[in-house]
Amino acid sequence: MEYIRITSIEDPLFTQMHNLMKSIFPPEEVLAFDLWREPLQDPDIRVFVAVHEGQVVGSTEYRYVTALNVAMTDFTIIGKPGLGIGRFLYKNRERDLDQLAAEAGVQMLGMFAEIYDPYQSIDLEFGGVTPMNPIVRREVLSHLGYQRLDFPYVHPSWGNDGEAVDGLDFCFMPKDDQIVALPGQLIVDFLSWYYSVLPNKPQAWLDMIERLKETPEVALRPL
């Protein structure tokens, strides 16, 4: 299996990846094909695919924010069971992020992720691919060390229609297991940066950000 970075929507592997995304994720979670052009050219956004026998069978997108010393897992897609795709993507992503942090002269604080709460949204099918079932994914991410940040979370729809998307938890996987909370301002700074690409912010998201600004620390809770 090969771990290949995608940097252009003209890459045939990107077309395969985008089709895989559309077959698995809900429509509001998938950025339109043409809107990927600039993000793929951004050096801070790292999109990789797992290629098996010429076919894209998995993908992951993530980024490392040097100024905040944190990373974000945007998504991880496992297209087929029984190939070890999840472990393959995880280990390659980990090596890449550790290298980026080393080049910055630090050890990364940890990594954010938006994780579906299947107990809020039990009807999520995710393309019928068993490894992508929200319950399976939540337990796997818990095993890896992700914890839920203890505040009600919404995010702007990637359709840029001003709608708020709920049914997810905002989570964090600290490098140091002794970390039990994050500064509210760190979360504000990261989310403000992360969603700066979407100009149509829902009021629910703006209200959430204002509450976080007034919260000194946000506790990490078990998933």
The fold adopted by the segment(s) 2-221 is: Aminopeptidase (3.40.630)
Structure-token match 């992720």, residue found? 113
Task: Show the tokens assigned to 206.
Answer: 């703006």
Domain ranges, ordered by start, for the chain: 2-221
Full pLDDT tens readout for the chain, 223 residues: 999 999 999 999 999 999 999 888 877 778 889 989 998 998 889 999 999 999 999 999 999 999 999 999 998 999 988 999 999 999 999 999 999 999 999 999 999 999 988 877 555 555 566 666 777 788 888 998 999 999 999 999 887 788 898 889 999 999 999 999 999 999 999 999 999 888 899 999 999 999 999 999 999 999 8
C-alpha angle 78-161-111 in degrees, rounded to nearest 5: 40
